[in-house]
Amino acid sequence: MRAAVVNGFGGPERVEIVRVPVPRPGAGQVLVRVRAAGINPVDGAVRAGVFGGEGQRIGFGWDLAGEVDELGADVTGWAVGDRVVGLHYGPVKPLGTHAEYAVLDASALAAAPAGVDDVTAAGLPLSGLTAARAVDQLGLAPGSTVLVTGAAGMVGGLAVQLAARAGLVVTALAGAEDEAFVRGLGAAGFVPRGSAPAGPVDGVLDAAVLGEPALGFVRDGGVYVGLRPHAAPAAERGIRVVEQEVAADGAHLARLASLVDAGALTLRVAETYPLAEAAGAHAHLTKSGTRGRIVLTLP
């Protein structure tokens, strides 16, 4: 099968398409025929060597949409041909989801949203689980105020929708040109990028990874949730600081998929590239202002 990998760190030009054997599922695992796979900022970090692994062949891709192709031993609840979405956790791995086939733990899979195609569904696992976990970790009661930074991005936009659905009063921080868009997602208030909210908020969900400046927007005793491990600012003024890290969770992913089907969660696709043009997708990833997920397609 074909797979996108990197054998030496650097820019998008280091991405290679190689032929490797189709992996086989072990006990509790499922082989998925990948139809679409999101490319995320973490893939660019892998390519640049942020997570290490020098001298290894490293595969790309955390999320996918496709069909069950083979079941490992002891797997129940799935059948060959089922449409699924899933999260393949881990930055340094020989193969990821940017390949014609991928092996995932059965517990990492959920039925794909029935109302959207594979390209659209491929943007749900990593961004959706990241946003949902961050909203949960805010731990705020309905009616509390929360500021979502980077609210027009993929994770930020999903966080705005999920936080509003949880009954939080959401203020979105984004570029001025995105005000109408983020209000349409459910934001009650808006702050242009580079500005500060009118007053302190109960919590900040820092999708833009602003760090200390975003912490300054939180009231004494509030909460700050960061989305990049080991990058959160130091706690102060009694603020609870949480460093969010995503995890594969098929049950939670299934709940998100049901929200997509109910029209309560909007997914966005910025651009598609065939797997053979994965290097071009990585180049696109370096551009600012992308709205929605870049997706690799596999016929």
- How sure is the predictor about 286, in pLDDT bands with cuts at 50, 70 and 90? confident
Write down the pLDDT at residue 299.
Answer: 83
Residue 271: beta bridge partners? Answer: 294
Write down the pLDDT at residue 125.
Answer: 98
- Domain-wise residue ranges, the chain: 2-124+268-297, 127-243
Predicted confidence (pLDDT) per residue in 110-149, tens digit = 999 999 999 999 999 999 999 999 999 999 999 999 999 9
Predicted confidence (pLDDT) per residue in 146-185, tens digit = 999 999 999 999 999 999 999 999 999 999 999 999 999 9
Cα 230 → chain centroid: 18
- How sure is the predictor about 253, in pLDDT bands with cuts at 50, 70 and 90? very high
Examine the pLDDT at 262 and tell me if it is beyond 80.
Answer: yes
- Cα 215 to Cα 294: distance, rounded to the nearest angstrom: 30
The region that residue 237 occupies, defined by phi over 0 for left and psi between -120 and 50 for alpha, beta otherwise, is left
Contact 281, 272 (CB under 8 A): no
Q: What are phi and psi of 109, to 5 degrees?
A: -100, 155
Name the CATH topology of 2-124+268-297: Quinone Oxidoreductase; Chain A, domain 1 (3.90.180)
Helix (H) or strand (E) holding 47: helix 41-48
- How sure is the predictor about 104, in pLDDT bands with cuts at 50, 70 and 90? very high
29-39 vs 293-297, strand pairing mode: antiparallel
Radius of gyration for the alpha carbons in the chain, expressed in angstroms and rounded: 19
Output the average pLDDT for the chain.
95
HSE-CB at 268 with a 13 A cutoff on CA atoms is: 15
3-class state of residue 135 by DSSP: helix
- How sure is the predictor about 54, in pLDDT bands with cuts at 50, 70 and 90? confident
Q: What are phi and psi of 67, to 5 degrees?
A: -125, 145
What would the mean pLDDT of 224-244 be, rounded to a whole number?
Answer: 92
Write down the pLDDT at residue 73.
Answer: 97
What would the mean pLDDT of 256-272 be, rounded to a whole number?
Answer: 96
The residue assigned the tokens 């651009």 is 271
Contact 69, 100 (CB under 8 A): no
Examine the pLDDT at 290 and tell me if it is beyond 90.
Answer: no
> What percentage of the chain reaches a pLDDT higher than 70?
100
Write down the pLDDT at residue 9.
Answer: 94
- Cα 246 to Cα 133: distance, rounded to the nearest angstrom: 7
Buried b (16+ CB within 10 A) or exposed e, 33-70: bbbbbbbbbbbbebbeeeeebeeebbbbbbbbbbbbbb
Write down the pLDDT at residue 135.
Answer: 98
Name the CATH topology of 127-243: Rossmann fold (3.40.50)
Examine the pLDDT at 83 and tell me if it is beyond 80.
Answer: yes
Examine the pLDDT at 233 and tell me if it is beyond 80.
Answer: yes
- Cα 163 to Cα 135: distance, rounded to the nearest angstrom: 6
> What percentage of the chain reaches a pLDDT higher than 90?
93
The region that residue 56 occupies, defined by phi over 0 for left and psi between -120 and 50 for alpha, beta otherwise, is beta
Contact 53, 1 (CB under 8 A): no
